[in-house]
Every structure is written in C-alpha cells, then in structure tokens.
Chain A
Amino acid sequence: MSDHELQTGDPMPMASLPATDGRTYDLGQAAAATVIYWTCNHCPYALAWHDRLHEVARDYADRGVRVLAVNSNNSDTHPADSFVAMAERVEREGGWPSPYLHDESQDVARSFGAAKTPDVFVFDAGLKLRYRGAPDADYDDPGQNAAWLRAALDAVLEGREPDPATTEPVGCGIKWK
C-alpha cells in the first residue's frame, strides 16, 4: 500500500511511464489540465466507469485537457492486468482516446497515493492537484456521466476551485506486490 497521499494543491509527482502504444509518456507535460486516473482490466468498478472516462477524454480534448490512464496492479497475482493483456485490450476495443500506461514498479501509484481502480486525479496547468476521487456518485448509473470529474475540469479550466475538491474513490483496491 501507499504511505503517502497527495493533497489538494500538491505538485504532481514527476514520472514517465510506458504505454501500450509503444511510446513513453511524461506525466507532467504541459496542458491546460491533466487527468490521471488509475484503472485496470479486471475490476468491475473500473469497467463500469470505463466508457464515461473515455467520453471525458474525447469531450475535453479540444480544450487542451490531457487524459492518461494508469494500471499499477500486480500482474503476477492478476495476469489480466499484465502489459500484454493491457495492449490486447486496447487493440480489441479499437483504440482508446487516452494512452494506457503501465506502472509495473507501482512507484507512481505510491507517489500519488492512488488506492483504487478507478481513482481520479485532476491537475491544473501549473500541475497542482485540484481534484481527487471518484468520477461521479454512482458506478452503476451511466447517466451520472462522470459529473464530478467534469465539474472539476470545468472549474480548473475557468480558474475556479473545484467543489467538491475531493470525494471518496470507490472501486477495487490496487493489487500491491
């Protein structure tokens, strides 16, 4: 587990991670806002919110928002979350609107204090944390449409503080080594 948890206003921990598309992504690249969320292949909560998070990536791309998906699960105990399985999933689904990054060492998850899948972090243009939590209030209601995440992004893009700035992430625990 992580013994450190990012707080609102904290700077983004700097790191780069490999993605299923063969590229390596710097988390802190310049953007109007950056969404980094933990997800995985096997967790029903991550799967239930999957389409809503992709819609956010598509809907906010032209406003300069960068969205990155990270999988930190231990693939020794959960083979469905191996790098190969991640790449196969993206291909099977016809590509994702966001890079799907692999945090094999789990160092990035620990540096953020990520705990669940999904667990969403929103950073402003200065790479300060502005929102952390769940995408919306109900994993089982697609009509929620990632409302908390969208509200946080709208606030950040307009220079306001998100309200709420934190919610409780809901999902499967990250599978630690």
Chain B
Amino acid sequence: MEAEVRLLWWKGCPSWERALSMVREEMDLRGLNPEALEVIEIVDENDAARFGFPGSPTILVGGEDIQTPGPDQPTGLTCRVYRRKDGRVSPLPDPEDLRDAFAKIEA
C-alpha cells in the first residue's frame, strides 16, 4: 500500500505549481505513482481551519508536514515561508526536506 501524500494549496501563492512538480517528480523517482498524490485546494478560511493549513504550499507525506511549522504558526490563507538548507527563505521547501520525508516513510 502506498503512503498517503497530500499537497494543500491556495491560489494566492504562485509557487504551488512548482511544488506540485517537485512532489510528482520525487514520487516518480521513488517508483510511486504520481497520480496517487492528493491535491487539495484550500479555498477559504473555513477550509484552512479544517485542514490546519499553515500556508501554501503545504506538503504532507505519510500524514506529516515535510517541514514542521513552528508552534505559533497560525493557520489561514497565506503564503508559506520555507527555510532552505543554505539559510535562504523561499516560497518552496528544500528538495532535501522532501527527499527526507519520503525516505522516512520508506525506512
């Protein structure tokens, strides 16, 4: 059985499409079916609250966020700030965090 992989996105942040490609490519590389990725659009604050959405894009692998949001990170319609391994701030997660998340569920 394949692990549950989800991408939660909001249209106000353009990086979601690139994040979608990143996740699909990583799934493909690992022999997982990219079509199994569940892509969920967050359309309003009610959705954001229901999914505990900390910003777009949010990627969940095996139910876990690939970069755990801080404890004071509010939920809502916002663009997610990711911290890359080299210290840069980006609207996209570090590819290594994505790889690590998949490696964790395969272990």
Spell out A's residues near B (CB within 8 Å).
Answer: 42-45, 47-48, 50, 139-140, 142, 170-173
Could you tell me if A172 and B88 are in contact, using CB atoms closer than 8 angstroms? no
Could you tell me if B89 and A48 are in contact, using CB atoms closer than 8 angstroms? yes
The binding surface of chain B is classed by DSSP as loop
Could you tell me if A139 and B91 are in contact, using CB atoms closer than 8 angstroms? yes
A45 neighbours in B (Cβ, 8 Å): 14-15, 79, 91
Chain B: number of interface residues, binned into ranges: 10 to 19
The binding surface of chain A is classed by DSSP as mixed
Shortest CB–CB separation between residue B19 and chain A, in angstroms? 11
Name B82's contact: one of A43, A44, A170 (CB within 8 Å): A44
Nearest 7 A/B pairs, CB to CB: A44-B91, A47-B89, A44-B81, A172-B79, A44-B79, A48-B90, A45-B91
Residue of B nearest to A45 (CB): B91
Name A42's contact: one of B13, B14, B81 (CB within 8 Å): B81
The CA of A48 and the CA of B13, in the complex, are separated in Å by 13
Known: A42-B78, A43-B79, A44-B82. A139 touches B12 (CB 8 A): no
Shortest CB–CB separation between residue A123 and chain B, in angstroms? 26
Q: List 18 A-B contacts (CB under 8 A).
A: A42-B78, A42-B81, A44-B13, A44-B79, A44-B89, A44-B90, A45-B15, A45-B91, A47-B81, A48-B88, A48-B89, A48-B91, A50-B89, A140-B15, A140-B90, A140-B92, A172-B12, A172-B78
Could you tell me if B14 and A142 are in contact, using CB atoms closer than 8 angstroms? no
Kindly name the residue among B18, B80, B90 whose own CB sees the greatest number of chain A CB atoms within 10 A: B90
The CA of A139 and the CA of B15, in the complex, are separated in Å by 9
Shortest CB–CB separation between residue A13 and chain B, in angstroms? 26
Could you tell me if A173 and B12 are in contact, using CB atoms closer than 8 angstroms? yes
Kindly name the residue among B12, B18, B80, B89 whose own CB sees the greatest number of chain A CB atoms within 10 A: B89
Name B14's contact: one of A47, A50, A170 (CB within 8 Å): A170
